[in-house]
Structure 1
Amino acid sequence: MKLATKFIHAGTEPDPSTGAIMTPIYQTSTYVQEAPGKNKGYEYARSQNPTRHALEEALAVIENGKHGLAFSSGVAATDAVLKLLVPGDEVVAGNDMYGGTYRLFTKIYEKAGIKFSFVDMTDTANISKAITPKTKLIWVETPTNPLLNVTDIAAVVAIGKAAKALVCVDNTFASPYLQNPLDLGADIVLHSATKYLGGHSDVIQGALVMNDDSLREQLYFIQKSCGAVPGPMDCFLVLRGIKTLHVRMQRHCENGIRIANFLRNHSKVGKVYWCGFEDHPGYAIASKQMRGFGGMMSFTLKDDSVATATKVLSSTKLFSLAESLGGVESLINHPASMTHASIPREERVKNGLSDSLIRLSVGIEDADDLIEDLRQAIEG
């Protein structure tokens, strides 16, 4: 099945009672049983909900996986994966990652006895060096947030298999339209469904997709027992968002190409971080494992001061200054004080995330208007 068809039809069947083409919102907390233990597959909404079930089926289909699980946020999905571990286990993770993930790792799970090693995953030899007999999980973001570094997923999977460690790939930046880590051997794919899957900045949700039956049962047990489940309305919104993922991503990619090149050619712009440039260190790998390069990018100004960056951040009209990404509208962000503020400054700077870095989530507006908005903000 081609991608466009898959995204529209994944997980959806006409409602058997009415024929409704859209999955109903089953706004209920419990279900009537014919007799104790005799039910129609649903007992209590924390454990199961028909709207959530349809979404989880769709998540599996669009990531070429067997099982999908929906969570109340991307961080909740991350939390569920970490609950597979026990004190003394070790995790190897990328040194360029979403600040909320770093915070969860270092402020919550380090205190629970999990050890984390953060390495530059653009060179997979660094991962091999960090592996120990206690390594149980390799955590990958690719492309990374916010520096758009690229990691060779297949190479990491080979390392993980040799070490008998799970490989989880955060696929939020790419979305299933551009990249399918399970096809490359990853054990788990994670999404902040808040972003491209929802696509309209109106829902908070997370997702996990996997092929292994035993892994699904472990993660489902965590989902049910810990209760970080999304409500049926949120599931409906993500189901609706998935139906237009392909057309939105096409425009995100088209606009991304134009804006990345505009920024690179502007006399006041310093460095542009976007994995679609042929001279990007990860371009060859990105071209191999992705179908396009997306609308996420970051840049610095030649006047590399926080004051100048702040002026640009406060001067855009169409790019809204806000956290998050992946919506139809364009957003501009200051990682050092917003999405990555939980990472200590010395760690951010060491990994290349400067105080003046600006991140863009390029939306699906007219590219000419977006370019003019950036031009007036940079030159004004």
Structure 2
Amino acid sequence: MFRRPNLVRRTPFPDSVSRAVVTPLQPSVVYASPDPNALDDQYEGRAKGYTYGREGHPNADVLAQMIDRMEGGAGGIVTGSGMSAVTATILGLLSAGDHIVGGNQLYGRSLRMMTQDLPRWGITSTLADPTDLAAMEAAITPTTKLMLVEVVSNPTLRIADMEGLTRLARDRGLILVVDNTFTTPYGYPAFERGADVVIHSVTKLMAGHSDVTLGYVLARDPARRKAIYDTIVTLGLTPSPWDCWMAERGLYSFDMRHERSQANAAALAEAIAEHPAVSSVLYPGRADHPDHNRAGAVLDGQFGNMVTFCLKGGRDAAVALTRAAPQLPFAPTLGDIGTTLSHPASSSHRGLTPEKRAELGITEGMFRVSVGCEPVALLREDFTTALDAVSALG
């Protein structure tokens, strides 16, 4: 009589004298310990091991260590998204009654959190221009505990006074948090230059293929790292092993993607600046950029892969351009290996009033381009075709 095998019990992973070249994907949510004493050793730091996926897993640690090396630090934590890294940092380090000073052109959801969500939890904020050191200093109050800035603003690509802001935070005893998503550690080594906490949306340039959603946070002080980690675990801001594995895979080509996309961005900025449908181009590498000199110093000549331009027309011109270039994905994202178009007025900054967008210089004819790794001749051709369609409107 056939006896069914017991398939419920796990089959041990095969031993091997050779090792896998590719990092194994480990989707297990739970990890078995030998006994309660061994579990105590893990939780109390006497032994290294995994317990429950929400508290950490191997694929997240592999990815974190790779980004740690890029940032020149140790102990970074991978989270479920860039915004979860921002959330864990703020909620882990601040309490009701505390105040934040933030850059006035932070990522749209960061702005919403600071102006709409945090006040419900008793944390207040003031937004100021990070290119103006006096304005940032004037925004500090007796209850200010933290300063949150991005090196390059979205979407106008202004360059923050990072040297001054780092000095100001140190002199006033503030926690300096740098969202380094746009610049990456290769564009601006935030940790090396004095940031207390560094945040990334790994979703973007680091992973580079628009197929994962992840964040990362690195804190200089171990006590702050633990506070952020505890918040991540408590709120369940856990990254997926699959996404971590995919992001690790993307990072192996980061150097090449970083160099190619920057070179393409510089060439594209020059090409579209000459087109009659374009009223202005913002690219930190161009001499006419308002922060060009500062960009050279802050970014060490790494001007990035983001280009912003404004059309002479409004919404009709914007619609014409996107329809004339279906091969350029019109999507509210950045950092893909291919070039993507974003329209801040209808995506990242749609939550602002028209008046507030105007204050920031965001018009209906503004586009932000995340330049990818296509042949540059193809990019010139695609944008010329799209801009010619705008000119045809008359």
What CA distance in whole angstroms lies between the structure 2 residues aligned with 1:216 and 1:16? 37
Cross-structure match for 2:19? 19
In the alignment, which residue of structure 2 is the partner of 1:52?
A: 60
Counterpart residue number, 1:372: 381
Residue 231 of structure 2 is aligned to residue 214 of structure 1? no
Aligned-pair CA distance for 1:343: 2.6
SS in 1 for 2:38: coil
Q: CA deviation at 1:279?
A: 2.9
Listed one character per residue, the Cα deviations across residues 140-173 of structure 1 (whole Å, up to 9, x for unaligned) are 1121111101012221111111221111111111
Cα displacement (A) at 1:210: 2.5
**Residues 257-296 of structure 1: pairs in structure 2 closer than 5 A:** 257-291=266-300, 292-296=302-306
State the match for 1:68 in structure 2.
Answer: 76
Distance in 1 (alpha carbons) for counterparts of 2:256 and 2:37: 44
Give the letter aligned to residue 30 of structure 1: V
**3-state SS, counterpart of residue 277 of structure 1:** coil
Contact 1:318–1:330 under 8 Å retained in 2 = no
Read off the aligned partner of 1:79 and give its amino acid letter: T
Mapping 1:238-317, distance limit 5 Å: 238-291=247-300, 292-302=302-312, 304-317=313-326
Q: How many equivalent residue pairs? A: 365
After superposition, residues 350-361 of structure 1 pair within 5 angstroms as 350-361=359-370
Following superposition of structure 1 onto structure 2, how do residues 187-206 of structure 1 map, counting pairs within 5 Å?
Answer: 187-206=196-215
What residue is the counterpart of 1:95 in the other structure?
104
**CA shift in 2, pair 1:227/1:17, >3 Å:** farther
Are 2:110 and 1:113 equivalent residues in the alignment? no
Kindly provide the CA deviation profile for residues 184-237 of structure 1, in whole angstroms up to 9, marking residues without a partner as x.
101111111100010011001111122221211111111111110111111111
C-alpha distance in structure 2 between counterparts of 1:343 and 1:53, whole Å = 38
Percent of pairs with identical residues = 33
Shift in Å, 1:82: 1.2
Aligned with residue 129 of structure 1, among 132, 138, 141: 138
Distance 2:348 2:381 in 1: 26
Task: Please report how far the alpha carbon of residue 16 of structure 1 lies from its aligned counterpart in structure 2 after TM superposition.
Answer: 9.4
Q: CA deviation at 1:283?
A: 1.8
Secondary structure of the residue aligned to 2:147 is strand
Look up the match of 2:51: 43
Do residues 33 (structure 1) and 42 (structure 2) align?
no
For residues 62 and 239 of structure 1, what CA distance do their matches in structure 2 show?
13
Structure 1 residue aligned with 2:11: none
| Structure 1: segments with no counterpart, 5+ residues | 1-14
Bigger Rg, structure 1 or 2: 2
Deviates more, 1:274-283 or 1:361-370: 274-283
Q: Aligned AA for 1:103?
A: R
| CA RMSD, Structure 1 to Structure 2 (Å) | 1.6
Q: In the alignment, what sits opposite 1:3?
A: none
Q: 2:147 aligns with which of 134, 138, 143?
A: 138
- The offset of 1:90, in angstroms, is 0.9
CA drift at 1:18:
5.2
Q: CA deviation at 1:238?
A: 1.1
Distance (Å, rounded) in 2 between the aligned partners of 1:346 and 1:223: 36
Q: Which runs of 5+ in 2 are unaligned?
A: 1-14, 40-47, 390-394
TM-score (norm 2): 0.89
Equivalents in 1 of 2:103, 2:18: separation in Å?
A: 48
Distance in 1 between the 2:223 and 2:231 partners?
A: 13
Q: What SS does structure 1 have at the residue aligned with 2:192?
A: helix
Secondary structure, in 3 states, of the residue corresponding to 1:111?
A: helix
Aligned to 2:177, the other structure's residue is in SS state: strand
Provide the TM-score with structure 1 as the length reference.
0.92
